[in-house]
Chain A
Amino acid sequence: MQFRLEKRREPSKVMLYATPVAAVLLTMIVGAIIFSAIGYDGVGAVREIFLTPLTNSFKWQDLGVKAAPLIIIGVGLSIAYRANVWNIGAEGQYIMGGLAATWVALSTHGMGGWWTLPLMMLAGVLGGAAYAAIPALLRTRLNVNEILTSLMLTYASVQLIYYLVRAPWKDPMGMGFPQTKRFAAEALLPNIFPGTIVHAGVPIAIIVALVAWFIMSRSVFGYQMRVVGAAPHAARYGGFSENKTIWLALLVSGGLAGMAGMLEVAGPFQRMVPGFPTNYGFTAIIVAFLGRLNPLGVIFAGIVMAITFVGGEVAQTTIGLSSSATGVFQAMMLFFLLAGDILVRYRLKRVAPQEARA
């Protein structure tokens, strides 16, 4: 018995939504097998990583807090990727957004007011967008691939944090720790539910996704992103400039990554520390794809990814699974998703072996 891939007349809607679900299920199954094979309780690991965060209500607030930055960055990336602009450096833009917000928080320390947080937000967005403008400039002027430049700039931004928190921004009262001082109360995100760690970034993430969904599906801007990504030649014929689209895609995705950076530094971190880069920018790439490059899908994908983060921590303590196991699960998910995507456009057809030989 042999199979052949046959192109579908229309991309399958069912497969479009079924493959992300199948990817998650396959990840669970294969993950269980792999971790059993190397001597862990594989089934237990999968249960701790994928189910405990959902069944244990104490973990829900963690989910929200982890999912928020993933969703915000993932939404931005899903817009850029629609336009075939491959911004891989959201991590760097997230860092620059965080640093710009930190700068506002530190320079207004002790004289802030209601306007401090909005100003930090503005700085965060501009910081992220400005950092994404570098790959945009290089791509549109010199035709340098944005995948390389945006990725490499991430490493530069990490070094910038190390420098800033060790020298100019170092907290004099920090007992030598490389970190800034804790932000003033006006520069910290308010908690939404008293007694929890759920900060204002969580509802903001949902609002960002909803607004992005509306813009992408209804506006000329969204149309432009989609048409440039789907058929650049047709986009030119339709009157959409490719360079302008590259700029918009990078500025929007960079700006949103910067916004996430601001929310993180003013939320959970409360100060800038060397541990600020937490790979949200890279994980959000998986989130964008798992969410089908659709802002509404990104909400769900962000939650799924947050589950693996939270669950990974649970599994670390309960069954002693290494923290890198989370990365393995996330990578498997992306792998299965991309592999399964071929079924959206193609179907498997059984062929008689004799015909295949001819």
Chain B
Amino acid sequence: MPNRLELSGITKQFPGVLANDHVSFAVKPGEIHALLGENGAGKSTLVKMIYGIMQPDAGEIRWNGEPVVVPNPKAARKLGIGMVFQHFSLFEALTVLENIALGMDAKIPSRELEARIREVMTAYGLLLDPHRTVATLSVGERQRIEIVRALLLNPQLLIMDEPTSVLTPQEVEQLFTVLRKLAAEGCSILYISHKLHEIKALCDTATILRGGKLVDTCDPKLETSRSMAEKMIGTGLKDIVKAEGRGFGPPKLLVNRLSTSRTGHFDVPVDDVSFTVRTGEIFGIAGVAGNGQNALLDALSGEIRSEDRDAITIDGKGIGMMGTTERRRHGLCAVPEERNGHAAVGDFTLSDNSVLTARDRLGMVVMGLINSGAAKTYTGKVIADFAVKALGPASTAGSLSGGNLQKYIMGREILQKPSVLVVSQPTWGVDAGAAAAIHQALVDLAAAGSAIVVISQDLDELRTLSDTLAVINMGRLSPARPVRDFSVDEIGLLMGGVHGTVEAA
């Protein structure tokens, strides 16, 4: 039997970067094939060429043995290639059925379409009411719409781009069941991810890209997560050095019945959240995206002020009604999830971005005037200490890659030596090498006596990093426990909204 998909010598050049350099590999019918690599390794570009969004500069794509040119996504779908993107393209105000109908190339009467949707849903256990409005669905359910949309075309190859980044562990299991069933029926799956344990659990073959080049094609079941990670980043991976058996000091940050009010239509406010972080402790907050994490970070950073002074205290001092500047003076620094436009200003130089949050703590302002020399010196130190790839303090923040900008932002806050640091998604979209550096910096800061709150959707990150863990769901925080007392299943249930002792009973 010929290979379902065969790439040979695929090359794509962008101004300044060779995104794909003679990449060749093959996907067999019914095979679940992982495409693995760091951010910027060229995975997305490669997949876009297979799906017809871009054209290769050189090389050949063979489909079931025949050489083909895929001029656009419509042609790709006609060949039998389906794709589920990382970011969904759904209209929140429309129903599931309407969303699927809008995405179809051919016009199908809605009754017939509904019948076919129900057929696909039952066949693969993708349970969903076609008449529900998308706005009421969870992220996992929304992803099912995209999968159903792709399956309606009876694809022979399904491309999944980072599908699990927004799912709970249970939802991930359900997704894997669907994918295994599809593969068993002969549909090939090209699975893009950087989560190595998922690839080990799911995939038959893994192709690893680094810097646009194919590094290795291997059997993930015969590799360790570590060996694959090292192939991905090209060097040995550094472990986080965390002193064992270190004790925690007295309570530093106390959050007591903190709530925020609802501001927008779809955002989730914080609802009666209480927790304590001690000196030297890293407190992790897990949760699926959109469960009040943003409101919690804003409420802690001071962008949203509380009406109760004692809703947040540092060393017993109530800071609940203070703004961000005052809170920083009291030692609380924060890093929001969105880097560009929230944690940093893309049009400003890095030096000017340092002024944004470090001006008071580091004395960059004298009599209303900015001491640009001090800002420059500090920025230079951040760049050097956190190995930020930038031309210098005068580069604009917008010219940095996501990972480098994140390193700069984390460095900017950590080098201020805050006594409390609150960070959201500290390594989101950051490559493994940079992520390890950021993790180590957080651990070192805690060891030096700061209290740290890490809000993240990445369970692996939280399990390696935090000492204590709680889960946020619909704005409510579960009771906190030492991280080693939690099983992944338990965390997953909490993330999905099953609150242990009370509701599950």
> B348, A237: Cβ atoms under 8 Å?
no
> A220, B359: Cβ atoms under 8 Å?
yes
Chain A nearest CB from B324 CB (Å) reads 4
- In the complex, what residues of A have CB within 8 A of residue B352's CB? 223
> A220, B325: Cβ atoms under 8 Å?
no
> B341, A223: Cβ atoms under 8 Å?
no
> A233, B72: Cβ atoms under 8 Å?
no
Question: Among B71, B302, B343, B348, which residue has its beta carbon within 8 angstroms of that of A358?
Answer: B71
Chain B nearest CB from A291 CB (Å) reads 18
Known interface pairs A239-B323, A239-B328; A223-B342 also in contact (CB < 8 Å): no
Cβ of A218 < 8 Å from any Cβ of B? yes
> B356, A237: Cβ atoms under 8 Å?
yes
- In the complex, what residues of B have CB within 8 A of residue A223's CB? 352, 355, 370
**Residues 334-361 of chain B: 1 if any A CB is under 8 Å from the residue's CB, otherwise 0?**
1010100111111110001001110100
> A231, B370: Cβ atoms under 8 Å?
no
**Residues 366-400 of chain B: 1 if any A CB is under 8 Å from the residue's CB, otherwise 0?**
00111010000000000000000000000110110
**Residues 114-136 of chain B: 1 if any A CB is under 8 Å from the residue's CB, otherwise 0?**
00000000000000000000000
> A11, B372: Cβ atoms under 8 Å?
no
Cβ of A319 < 8 Å from any Cβ of B? no
Tell me whether chain B's interface is mostly helix, strand or loop, or mixed: loop
- What residues of chain A have their CB less than 8 Å away from a CB belonging to chain B? 6, 9-11, 218-221, 223, 226-227, 230-231, 233-234, 236-239, 241, 355, 357-358
Task: Give the number of residues in B that approach A within 8 Å (Cβ atoms).
Answer: 37
- In the complex, what residues of B have CB within 8 A of residue A357's CB? 71
15 more A-B contacts (CB under 8 A) besides A234-B342, A237-B324? A10-B395, A10-B399, A220-B365, A223-B352, A227-B348, A230-B345, A231-B341, A233-B341, A234-B345, A236-B324, A237-B301, A237-B334, A237-B336, A237-B342, A239-B323
Q: How far is the CA of A231 from the CA of B328 in the complex (A)?
A: 20
> B348, A221: Cβ atoms under 8 Å?
no
Question: Among B52, B344, B345, B368, which residue has its beta carbon within 8 angstroms of that of A221?
Answer: B368
> A220, B368: Cβ atoms under 8 Å?
yes
Q: How far is the CA of A221 from the CA of B15 in the complex (A)?
A: 39
- In the complex, what residues of A have CB within 8 A of residue B323's CB? 239, 241
- What residues of chain B have their CB less than 8 Å away from a CB belonging to chain A? 15, 52, 55, 71-72, 301-303, 323-325, 328, 334, 336, 338, 341-348, 352, 355-357, 359, 365, 368-370, 372, 395-396, 398-399
* 11 pairs from A and B in contact (CB 8 Å cutoff): A220-B359, A220-B370, A221-B368, A223-B370, A227-B356, A234-B341, A234-B344, A236-B303, A237-B342, A239-B302, A355-B55
> B338, A233: Cβ atoms under 8 Å?
yes
Interface-centre pick from A219, A221, A233 (highest chain B CB count, 10 A) = A233
Chain A nearest CB from B76 CB (Å) reads 12
> B370, A239: Cβ atoms under 8 Å?
no
Q: How far is the CA of A231 from the CA of B340 in the complex (A)?
A: 9
Q: How far is the CA of A233 from the CA of B294 in the complex (A)?
A: 13
- In the complex, what residues of B have CB within 8 A of residue A231's CB? 341-342, 345-347
Question: Among A9, A221, A238, which residue has its beta carbon within 8 angstroms of that of B357?
Answer: A238
- In the complex, what residues of A have CB within 8 A of residue B365's CB? 220
Q: How far is the CA of A257 from the CA of B368 in the complex (A)?
A: 24
> A218, B356: Cβ atoms under 8 Å?
no
- In the complex, what residues of B have CB within 8 A of residue A10's CB? 395-396, 398-399
Q: How far is the CA of A24 from the CA of B78 in the complex (A)?
A: 53
Chain B nearest CB from A259 CB (Å) reads 21
Q: How far is the CA of A241 from the CA of B301 in the complex (A)?
A: 14
Q: Which residue of chain B has the shortest Cβ distance to A347 in the bound complex? A: B15
Q: How far is the CA of A231 from the CA of B339 in the complex (A)?
A: 11
Question: Among B71, B72, B325, B343, which residue has its beta carbon within 8 angstroms of that of A234?
Answer: B343
Chain A nearest CB from B504 CB (Å) reads 38
Chain B nearest CB from A193 CB (Å) reads 35
Q: How far is the CA of A238 from the CA of B399 in the complex (A)?
A: 21
Interface-centre pick from B15, B55, B345, B355 (highest chain A CB count, 10 A) = B345
